[in-house]
Every structure is written in structure tokens, then in C-alpha cells.
Chain A
Amino acid sequence: MIFEIILTIALCLLMLAIMANLYRVIKGPSSADRVQALDSIGINLIASIAVFSVLLHTHAFFDLILLIGILSFIGTVAFARFIERGVVIERKQ
């Protein structure tokens, strides 16, 4: 019983963290702030999925952890290249 309460408290803390990062996504003055905050939201989402899989006591969601990690990294690198050079995939001259 206490274990479920602690896991719910951890989920609430992660929700607060996602809300704070969402504030930075909305307000952030530069686009690098927004991309950084979205990457941080992805990482918090990974932690939330891990807590949910402990709470429901199932192994079914572990693929999602790996998948969201990879997608978040690829999206962040693509956005960074777009900010830095204007193109994501460069063309051979």
C-alpha cells in the first residue's frame, strides 16, 4: 500500500517536472531553449514509463523506454543541425 503511494508521489513529481519544462518550451526566448526543454520532457517521459511499469507490475512497456530514448535523441540532433546550418541533411555538391 505504501509502495503504491510512493510511486504515485514520484509520478506527481515527474508531472511537475514536465509542467516546468513545458513553461520553458512556451516562454523560452531562443529556439535552442525550446529544443532543450523538449528533450528534457522526453527524458522525463522515459522515467514516467518506468514508474508506470513498476506500478502496473508488467514487462510490456520496456520497449517504449528504448524507443522514446532513440526518438528523442534523433529529434534533438535534427533540430540542432537545422538551427546551426539551416538544413538537416546536406546534399552532395
Chain B
Amino acid sequence: MSGSSEVVGAVFILIGAIISLISAIGNVRLPDVYTRSHAASKSSTLGVLCTLVGTLLYFLISDGYFSIRLILGIFFVFLTAPVAAHVICRAAYRHKVPLAEESAQDELKDYYMENENLGTDHKAKLIEKEAGV
């Protein structure tokens, strides 16, 4: 009984740690803040979810202990890590952090840069026009 719990826990925890390390390498090597955020948010979330699921399964199989706190932690990390990455990326774009030189397309530019000094009613009309099309 103890052996199977150790096997399951070791596999999940090792996979989670490796994915976290890959995420950190991406965070070092990628060229601008948006691609870095892509690497840091997605794979880091997957890595920590693998580790927490491994912990949960280890305690569930070896002790028969089902931890509600750990379930809540998994749920919370799964909900909030992409939201935090989205908020940081939007703040960076509004703060005019430049994209990498290799990037070819910037579709948010019309909405955030050129209409920045116009009134809110003009922005509302622009959004209505876009939604109508």
C-alpha cells in the first residue's frame, strides 16, 4: 500500500518540478515581456498543479487523508494564476512596454494607442461599430 502511494507521488512531483524548471528557463530566455508572461503563467501553473495533485494523491493513498485545504489550493491556483498574468500583461501594454523586434502583428494598437486621447463616447462608438461588424 505504501509502495504504490510513493510511486504515484514521486511521478507527479517529479513531472511538476521539471515543468516548473522549463517555465523558469522560458522566463529567462524569451525576448519580451509578453512571451515571458506566456511561458511563466501557463507552464508554471501546470507544474504546480502536477505537484499539488501528487501531494494530494500521496496523502490520500498512504494515510487515507483527504485534504480539503489542498483541493482549495489547487482550485485557487488554477483560477488566479492566468488572471494575474492577464492583468500584468495589460498593465505592461498600457504602460507602453515595447514588443520584441521579431513580432509581426499588433492588433491592440488601434484600441489602446491611437484612441488614447479621445473621449469615452468615441471609444464606445468604436466598440459598437466593431461589434456590429
Binding site for B on A (CB under 8 A): 2-3, 6-7, 9-11, 13-14, 16-21, 23-24, 30, 32-33, 35-37, 39-40, 43-44, 46-47, 50-51, 53-54, 59, 62-63, 65-66, 69-70, 72-73, 76-77, 79-81, 83-84
Residue of B nearest to A27 (CB): B28
In the complex, how many residues of chain B place their beta carbon closer than 8 angstroms to a beta carbon of chain A?
52
Given A17-B23, A44-B48, A65-B70, is A39 in contact with B84 using a C-beta cutoff of 8 Å? yes
Tell me the number of A-to-B contacts counted with CB atoms below 8 Å: 169
Q: Which residues 43-98 of B have a CB within 8 angstroms of A? A: 44-45, 47-48, 51-52, 54-55, 58-59, 65, 67, 69-70, 72-73, 76-77, 80-81, 83-85, 87-92, 94-95, 97
Q: Is B126 an interface residue (CB 8 A)?
A: no
Quick check: B81 and A43 within 8 Å, CB to CB?
yes
Quick check: A21 and B92 within 8 Å, CB to CB?
no
The residue from A19, A20, A53, A76 contacting B84, defined by CB atoms under 8 A apart: A76
Given A36-B37, A62-B73, is A24 in contact with B27 using a C-beta cutoff of 8 Å? yes
